[in-house]
Structure 1
Amino acid sequence: MTKPLNDNTAEPSKPRRRSKTRIAHEEKILNSAEFIFASYGYTGATVEKIAKHTGISKQNLLYYFSSKDKLYRAVLENILNIWLDKLNLLNQEGDSPAEKLKHYIRDKLKISQTHPNGSKVFANEIINGAPHIGDYLSNNLNKKLQADVDLVKQWIADGKIDVIDPYHLFFMIWASTQTYADFSTQIQLVLNKDKLTEQDFDKAGDFLCQVILKGIGLKI
């Protein structure tokens, strides 16, 4: 007997898997969108500019992302997912606080080096009060940060580091590493360089590790 169309016992349809071609096209669009949003801000960026930079038509772009707002949010979520995936202090290599923090700082700095435009878009969003991703931050960042804060509190309780405010430790690490993306132009002008090199980021990592680790009572 044929099942009626409204039979609730039928298995739910599985979500369609995105093809490799679609994923590649979306990544290309997101990379262009990062650059345009970083260069012009949300207001100055347009779907036309992003499509032109990607090398596709506006209609083709809207097939993948139906509006500028959805594309902007996708750019923000993409950079945040990269940060959240890499920046988990609990999962960093090493057993000691010094080893874990060194890897954490250098990984954060590496993201500033490889995703400077995404970092700039995120910074502009935060400066403007996080109107598009406030909910995303509350639901995703806070939970992961709390686990790292609890780890630092345990280090303090065990006498492994000085008594400090864990939240402000992370604020300092985020700000000092992101400045090499968000204010890269300023740094390049001061250093008289067209672009920051791998050596520049290595020097920055050495300096930040020394200052931050010594500042909380750790030896390098």
Structure 2
Amino acid sequence: MDIHVNDSSTRRDKLENAILGAATRLFAECGFEGTSIAAVAERAGISKQNLLYYFPTKNALYQRVLDDVLDDWLERMAHLADPAAEPADVLRAYVAAKLRFSREQPWASRVYAMEVIGGAKFYGDQIRARVVPLLRRDIEVFEGWMADGRIARVDATHLLFALWAMTQSYADFSAQMALVLDKPELDTGDFEHAQQLIGDMVVRAVVTSV
């Protein structure tokens, strides 16, 4: 294979990643309406014309950012709800995976949150097509555990909503948490404490054998 082709592909990937990184941060900070292509280009250190070569419109760039966010999130969550596993283990793994995403991808989480808070005007169809089926699959697993007496009878949909809220807040509201804790930002210990506390709360609330 031509080494120049590989070099060109590597440069393209690096530039695209730089654009997406800059766009994710700006969309998280300013929202879709408050973010301009020129601002993204400046943050990425390239010309506006060069950026438009990769993403011809702001809509296309925003769509790609949200696609990447959802791809990452769903990949992390896809194999957690195993009907044969112990419910306590699954619930703790679910909490851990969601908090890990909040810690590793806080700007991505905030972009998604801002889109949803705004009514999911740009991304509602993708959420219906990709998030809802995963949610329903998890609900089926939980309801199977209820039928077998392995967890308490609860509204599985709202259980998942509560898990999302508790874990995603460590990305979306981390600035407020840091202010309360009087520190520049949340650290490893904060996420470890959150994982233990949330996991304990959920398991004690719904797992009958605990």
**TM-score, normalised with respect to structure 2:** 0.91
Match of residue 135 from structure 1: 125
Match of residue 39 from structure 1: 29
Q: Report Cα offsets for 1:17-68 as digits up to 9, x if no partner.
A: x944333322221111111111111111111111111111111111111111
- Aligned pair count? 202
Identity of aligned residues (%): 38
Deviation at 1:115, TM superposition (A): 0.7
Secondary structure (helix, strand or coil) at the match of 2:32 reads: helix
Match of residue 190 from structure 1: 180
Q: Which runs of 5+ in 1 are unaligned?
A: 1-17
1:103-114 to 2 correspondences below 5 Å: 103-114=93-104
Match of residue 4 from structure 1: none
Deviation at 1:90, TM superposition (A): 4.2
Match of residue 149 from structure 1: 139
Find runs of 4+ consecutive structure 1 residues off by over 6 angstroms. none
Q: Report Cα offsets for 1:63-122 as digits up to 9, x if no partner.
A: 111111111111111111111111135466x82011111111101100000111111111
Residue among 60, 70, 74 paired with 1:80? 70
Find the aligned partners of 1:219 and 1:124 in 2 and give their Cα distance.
Answer: 39
1:1-220 to 2 correspondences below 5 Å: 19-88=9-78, 90=80, 95-218=85-208
Find the aligned partners of 2:70 and 2:61 in 1 and give their Cα distance.
Answer: 14
Q: Does the CA contact (< 8 Å) of 2:28 and 2:108 recur in 1? A: yes
Find the aligned partners of 1:170 and 1:122 in 2 and give their Cα distance.
Answer: 17
The amino acid of 2:27's aligned partner reads F
Deviation at 1:167, TM superposition (A): 0.6
The structure with the larger Rg is: 1
RMSD, matched Cα? 1.7
